Chain A
Amino acid sequence: MIRRRTLLAAPALVLPAAARAQAWPARPISMIVAFGAGGGTDVAARSIARFMEKHLGGASIGVVNRPGAGGEVGWTALAQAAPDGYTIGFINVPAIVAMTVEKQTRFTIDSFAPIGNIAYDPAILCVRSDSPYASLGAFIQAAKAEPGRITVGTSGAPGNSEHLALLVMQRLTGARINHAPFGGTAPLRTALLGGHVPAATFNLSEGVDQAAEGNLRILGVMSVEREAMAPDVPTFREQGVDVVAGSSRGLVAPKGVDAAILARLQDALARAINDPEYREAAIKAKVPLRYMPAEEYGAFLKKTLEEMRAIWAATPWR
């Protein structure tokens, strides 16, 4: 085992950078997923990996699940991996950014070199269809009339992206709500449908089906523009509340990967996303595709970091 690895590493030491990039990929590439197998990120990783393999000329990409600590275990491993192009991985924004803001982590967003963003799922605020809150305005009015007495459930732990969005909403409108972190979308959605919480926030793709069935009403989507998945749902901005929030999944490499190799990874991702077969599969699986090339993704990461720092300064969430 050791001998084989030395043999593989030997050319890397001898060859100049250009030749090294040309020889890449000489062995399988690991794609780290910081969440358990079968979760949303895992499924996204496994599906894109297949198409990236195809566009990297038959390279082999293996998904490695490293769950734990809300992603911190996997992201630490990714940041600390050798920047040789043989380890890439998924990061989830804003979760990873919020983590670097709220506590001491062994990585910052500068530890990663962006390859590209794949999906973006905006957050929504929704109520059961028989709820008295007909619109976002009515909800905010009610929350102002009874400060801190209307409960809104969120799908994560304190400090999740929806919790942060609610903090911003409260700051902008002066309304005050009671926050209940459910730790997962399934129990939250069940509680909302069963009338155990009056309102809840989760991602759009997790609510469109129930809204289409007429069981839930989406008061607003926290995106810049209306979403193709739910064109009838007004955005928060349209309703006078400037909150944009959601969670994105993108692909990065540890910082320091050879520029030529990084370019090939970025190119393979772009081609994979535009592969008609992949697009069809993604739409069927309700993946909220939003491709951002590396440069745009990098800017998006920086912008998110500034926003998170501002929120933390105004209202630390833990």
Chain B
Amino acid sequence: MFDPLLVAAPSVLAPTSILAMVLGTAMGLVVGAMPGLTVTTGIAVLIPFTFGLDPLVALGLMAGMYNGGSYGGAITAILLRVPGTPASVATVLDGYPLAQSGRAGYALQVAVVSGTIGSVLSALALILLAPPLARVSLLFGPAEYFWVAMFGLATVAVLLGDDPPKGLLSAALGLMLGTVGQDLITGSERYTFDILELVDGFSIVVLLTGLYALPPVFRMAEEAVREGMPGSALRLRRAGSVLAEWRRFLPVWLRSSLIGIVVGVMPGAAGSITSLIAYNEAKRRSAEPESFGKGNPEGVAASEAGNGADNAAALVPALTLGIPGSGVAAVILGGLLVHGLRPGPQLFREAPEIVYGFMLQMLVTAMLLLLLGGLAATRLFGQVLRLPPVVLAPAIAVITAVGVFAVNNSVFDLGVLFAIGLVGYAMERLDYPTAPAVLGMLLGPMAEQQLRLALTIGLGDPAVLVANPASWAVIALTLLVLASPWLRRGRTVTS
């Protein structure tokens, strides 16, 4: 595994690649800090502009955008109580009180250092774990992929906390959208209503963008009369050094990073869940849990380290199995495809220098985060918040529309974009989580297609589904995930 790393290193450190990573990280910080613009959208908008670029330049932009965006979301979360990205929801809880008490600069610093540590550990895990996983992945045929999809669907059901029926309804919506299009095995068309554009089904990028980018625009439009933040309220100067207090934060960083990596690798758990789990765990372990939610910097550290650690780890199943573990991973898969790189086990054989280059770029951009985010961005990008919604909302809407149109040069896609945006807005207002819908869209077609392919190969005998040890392993994991609530309940009763 060190050979391809050494081969990839020079191209990663080439001037164009470094420029791309710096630019990407900077853009990611802006995108993350813009309420409404998620990293997913940022990368989706970026992809069409990377067509003509060298793959590693394009991927450097994406890696930077990914890592930069995950911290950028914390800026608005801390300053404005608006999570810039869904993943920074948990950062709001302690970051905003800290900022209110006049320690905005300190809170931002905690966030950027924690995020960097999480991202770096995560990138290292990706580099170390992905190759063995890639080798194992040849064990995965249609039957095994079917079970992987079932595992993903099972994790969604369990991880969707507060209101499970709403989560399940949302997942069902995703599954329904996923059935549209041509049936792969028989070639017949489903729910296409003779519309040519629907024969291939809905474009995932269009659906994702509509679901995530537009609802916040509509929300902003609701309160368009509000003004931007006055410059005097932005206190962005540093106060106290986080690194000097490393003893205090170290256990939080390590624990949250581990949580982020494990949850990130699972192809059913989205980033917003990671930071919440990490936050809850830090609170549970703390000597003074009551101080959480009132401005405890450990809360910010836990959320951001967990959030950062989710990043590269979520790419493990995406790169090795071709299975997107999150919305961002799905868009990055799209970005790879644009450059003729088909994610999956064969990618490591066919283009090792690119895969390893990309993984190194994830590591380098994680470190760039400290430099760009810590030194410059915090003060600079904070100014964006002074834009009133009346300017911000239409700008986001236009950028999104241009990005989506550019993917397929299709006006039909624009219609889909706004229709699904309205659906997403309604779901948000009614407190339906949108993440299960995304996973339903991605995993439903996969489960169906692979099941039918497996049965075709097995001449209709369902025994093919449990013929291999790889299937047994995934089935066991799925059962474990499904049983975990009962196991946990049993434990609390006994203790």
Residues of A within 8 A of B (CB): 36-40, 43, 46, 64-70, 72-73, 76, 148-149, 151, 153, 157-159, 178-184, 186-187, 189-191, 193-197, 209, 318
Which chain B residues lie closer than 8 Å to A178 at the CB level?
456-457, 459
Which chain B residues lie closer than 8 Å to A318 at the CB level?
186-188
Contact A196 B141 (CB under 8 A): yes
A225 to B197, CA, bound (A): 39
A72 to B197, CA, bound (A): 9
Are A197 and B410 also in contact (CB < 8 A) when A38-B337, A190-B344 are?
A: no
Of all chain B residues, which has the CB nearest A77? B409
Are A65 and B409 also in contact (CB < 8 A) when A151-B456, A178-B457, A194-B138 are?
A: yes
Of all chain B residues, which has the CB nearest A192? B141
A186 to B322, CA, bound (A): 10
Which chain A residues lie closer than 8 Å to B457 at the CB level?
151, 153, 178, 180, 196-197
In the complex, B280 has a CB within 8 A of chain A: no
Contact A182 B453 (CB under 8 A): yes
A sample of 8 inter-chain contacts (CB < 8 A) reads A72-B199, A157-B184, A190-B138, A194-B140, A194-B141, A196-B141, A196-B142, A318-B187
Contact A180 B453 (CB under 8 A): yes
In the complex, B81 has a CB within 8 A of chain A: no
Nearest 10 Cβ contacts at the A-B interface: A196-B141, A69-B199, A38-B338, A158-B187, A186-B342, A194-B138, A318-B187, A180-B456, A151-B457, A183-B184
Which chain B residues lie closer than 8 Å to A158 at the CB level?
185-187
Interface size range of chain B in the complex? 35 or more
In the complex, B287 has a CB within 8 A of chain A: no
A186 to B323, CA, bound (A): 13
A148 to B196, CA, bound (A): 34
A257 to B284, CA, bound (A): 74
A179 to B339, CA, bound (A): 30
Chain B nearest CB from A230 CB (Å) reads: 18
Are A187 and B200 also in contact (CB < 8 A) when A64-B409, A151-B456, A194-B139 are?
A: no
A120 to B456, CA, bound (A): 30
Knowing that A151-B459, A186-B344, A190-B344 are A-B contacts, what are 19 other residue pairs whose CB atoms are under 8 Å apart, sorted by A's residue number?
A38-B338, A38-B339, A66-B410, A67-B200, A67-B408, A68-B410, A148-B459, A149-B459, A157-B184, A158-B186, A178-B456, A178-B457, A180-B453, A183-B449, A187-B344, A194-B139, A194-B141, A196-B141, A318-B188
A209 to B459, CA, bound (A): 31
Contact B199 A70 (CB under 8 A): yes
A157 to B459, CA, bound (A): 18
Of all chain B residues, which has the CB nearest A66? B409
**Which residue of the partner chain, among A39, A157, A182, contacts B340 with CB atoms under 8 Å?**
A39
Which chain B residues lie closer than 8 Å to A37 at the CB level?
48, 51, 338
The 0/1 profile, CB within 8 Å of A marked 1, for residues 273-289 of chain B is 00000000000000000
Chain A nearest CB from B442 CB (Å) reads: 15
**Which residue of the partner chain, among B185, B197, B339, B342, contacts A181 with CB atoms under 8 Å?**
B185
A181 to B449, CA, bound (A): 10
Chain A nearest CB from B344 CB (Å) reads: 6
In the complex, B11 has a CB within 8 A of chain A: no
Chain A nearest CB from B63 CB (Å) reads: 18
Are A70 and B200 also in contact (CB < 8 A) when A65-B409, A157-B184, A158-B186 are?
A: yes
The 0/1 profile, CB within 8 Å of A marked 1, for residues 164-203 of chain B is 0000000000000000001011111000000011011000
Of all chain B residues, which has the CB nearest A33? B409
Chain A nearest CB from B205 CB (Å) reads: 11
Contact A65 B200 (CB under 8 A): no
Contact A191 B141 (CB under 8 A): yes
Which chain A residues lie closer than 8 Å to B200 at the CB level?
67-70
Of all chain B residues, which has the CB nearest A63? B51
**Which residue of the partner chain, among A153, A180, A193, contacts B138 with CB atoms under 8 Å?**
A193
In the complex, B73 has a CB within 8 A of chain A: no
**Which residue of the partner chain, among A38, A67, A159, contacts B51 with CB atoms under 8 Å?**
A38
Which chain B residues lie closer than 8 Å to A190 at the CB level?
137-138, 140, 344-346
The 0/1 profile, CB within 8 Å of A marked 1, for residues 441-469 of chain B is 00000000100010011010000000000
Are A191 and B142 also in contact (CB < 8 A) when A43-B340, A69-B199, A73-B197 are?
A: yes
Are A66 and B408 also in contact (CB < 8 A) when A72-B199, A180-B456 are?
A: yes
Which chain A residues lie closer than 8 Å to B459 at the CB level?
148-149, 151, 178
Contact B196 A69 (CB under 8 A): yes
Which chain B residues lie closer than 8 Å to A183 at the CB level?
184, 449
A65 to B199, CA, bound (A): 17
Within 8 A of A (CB), among B306-347: 322, 337-340, 342, 344-346
Contact B337 A36 (CB under 8 A): yes
Of all chain A residues, which has the CB nearest B47? A37
Chain A nearest CB from B416 CB (Å) reads: 12
Of all chain A residues, which has the CB nearest B468? A196
The 0/1 profile, CB within 8 Å of A marked 1, for residues 133-146 of chain B is 00001111111000
Chain A nearest CB from B199 CB (Å) reads: 4
Which chain A residues lie closer than 8 Å to B139 at the CB level?
194
Chain A nearest CB from B114 CB (Å) reads: 36
The listed residue with most A CB atoms (<10 A of its CB), out of B139, B188, B453, is B453
Of all chain B residues, which has the CB nearest A65? B409
The 0/1 profile, CB within 8 Å of A marked 1, for residues 107-127 of chain B is 000000000000000000000
Contact B197 A68 (CB under 8 A): yes
A193 to B143, CA, bound (A): 15
Which chain A residues lie closer than 8 Å to B350 at the CB level?
209
Which chain A residues lie closer than 8 Å to B339 at the CB level?
38
Contact B340 A38 (CB under 8 A): yes
Within 8 A of A (CB), among B39-55: 48, 51-52
Which chain A residues lie closer than 8 Å to B187 at the CB level?
157-159, 318
A191 to B456, CA, bound (A): 14
Chain A nearest CB from B147 CB (Å) reads: 13
A37 to B49, CA, bound (A): 11
Which chain A residues lie closer than 8 Å to B137 at the CB level?
190
Of all chain B residues, which has the CB nearest A209? B350
Within 8 A of A (CB), among B364-418: 408-410
Of all chain A residues, which has the CB nearest B454? A196
Contact A69 B197 (CB under 8 A): yes
The listed residue with most A CB atoms (<10 A of its CB), out of B52, B409, B459, is B409
Which chain B residues lie closer than 8 Å to A39 at the CB level?
340
**Which residue of the partner chain, among A149, A151, A157, A194, contacts B182 with CB atoms under 8 Å?**
A157
Which chain B residues lie closer than 8 Å to A148 at the CB level?
459
Which chain A residues lie closer than 8 Å to B456 at the CB level?
151, 178-180
Which chain A residues lie closer than 8 Å to B138 at the CB level?
190, 193-194
Chain A nearest CB from B352 CB (Å) reads: 13
Which chain B residues lie closer than 8 Å to A76 at the CB level?
196
A68 to B197, CA, bound (A): 6
Of all chain B residues, which has the CB nearest A158? B187
Which chain B residues lie closer than 8 Å to A182 at the CB level?
453
Which chain A residues lie closer than 8 Å to B449 at the CB level?
183
Which chain B residues lie closer than 8 Å to A197 at the CB level?
141, 457
Contact A189 B199 (CB under 8 A): no
Chain A nearest CB from B44 CB (Å) reads: 13
The listed residue with most B CB atoms (<10 A of its CB), out of A69, A72, A148, A157, is A69
Which chain A residues lie closer than 8 Å to B184 at the CB level?
157, 181, 183
Chain A nearest CB from B371 CB (Å) reads: 32
Chain A nearest CB from B67 CB (Å) reads: 23
Chain B nearest CB from A42 CB (Å) reads: 9
